[in-house]
Amino acid sequence: MKTVLVSGGAGYIGSHVTVELVQSGYNVVVADNFSNCDRTCFEGVQKILGRELPLEVVDFCDAAASDALFAKYHIDAVIHFAAFKAVGESVADPLKYYGNNLESFVNVISAARAHGCNNILFSSSATVYGETDKLPVTEQSERQPATSPYGNTKQICEDILRDCVKAYEGIHGIALRYFNPIGAHPSALIGELPRGVPANLVPYITQTAIGKRECLSIFGNDYPTPDGTCLRDYIDIVDLAKAHVAAVTRMVDGRMKLDYEIFNVGTGKPVSVMELVTTFEKVNNLKLNYRIAPRRPGDVTAIWADTAVGEKELGWKATRTLDETLASAWAWEKKLAGK
């Protein structure tokens, strides 16, 4: 059995990926410093799997600690999630994002190289495409200047991985550019659990619906889109997790066609913010309190994926419907609230 290190593995995406990896036959070591999450999802992962998993409390900005982790285990591949991820916060505090997101990734690659782990999967983002006017975006779409420091760290980390693969013999890298992960595991044992005020749309929706937030703000209704709100490609978190398993398997089985590969991970279907809100209301039979607010710094007008390359090369395709995903998000929120 191959062993995969999941950095940031106690967070929203990392926890779902961990479940899918273990269920696909991988050994998984979860590492997190819990700066942006608590142990709720990690405990939920163990309940889903019915077993305990190795958990290492590590700050990947600590080079010595990163090296010690790779020395402790024989790691065949690493998936790097450990990063700050709020667009608005990155605009307000760019040094926090450049310091954490870049240093942690450099340390992961350095430690992986030093201990013979040649397979590195980077958690990238559609934000690398910036404000583009050619939609949908393909993996060959030109990256535009990032609209936020968060997006810029994703671009820079992609470049770091690409350059390391080119420079260091034997290193293989995949960057998964995913769009807007939403929803929760069907078990309702793991889901998105932001600290403080949510920066992402769906947890703000669910927290408003449960009564934790008074009102949902829709940032801008004057965009050049059919209903004036931003268009996004919302991907179910379980579908997204399965794409990571497909990518890791491609790496460890030696099936990569290039030493550095990029794949979009989305549905290929644009959904507006207002459409997402009204669908949530319909699926869960409730009414949300929302208001239109001014545009938010760093937001792009519209972005959605061309998923043909990933579907062909990874043998992966998003299958869960938006209705299913939004129902799972609400089930998770109700479980958190004890309802």
**Radius of gyration of the chain measured on its C-alpha atoms:** 19
Residue 55 CA to its chain's centroid (Å) = 20
Catalytic-residue membership of 129: no
Q: DSSP letter at 272?
A: E
The answer to whether the beta carbons of residues 81 and 11 sit under 8 Å apart is yes
Q: Amino acid identity of 123?
A: S
Of 45, 338, 68, 316, whose CA–CA distance to 176 is shortest? 316
Query: In residues, how long is the chain?
Result: 339
Q: Amino acid identity of 104?
A: S
With b meaning 16 or more CB within 10 Å and e meaning fewer, what string describes 229-248? bbbbbbbbbbbbbbbbbbbb
Joined tokens for residue 245: 């398993």
**What's the rounded Cα separation, in Å, for the pair 129 and 145?**
8
From 12, 97, 129, 150, the catalytic residue: 150
**What's the rounded Cα separation, in Å, for the pair 302 and 271?**
9
Residue 323 CA to its chain's centroid (Å) = 20
**What's the rounded Cα separation, in Å, for the pair 212 and 174?**
39
How many helices (H) and strands (E) would you count in the chain?
12, 13
CA angle at 50 for the pair 46 and 53, rounded to the nearest 5°: 45
The answer to whether the beta carbons of residues 240 and 13 sit under 8 Å apart is yes
Known catalytic residues? 150
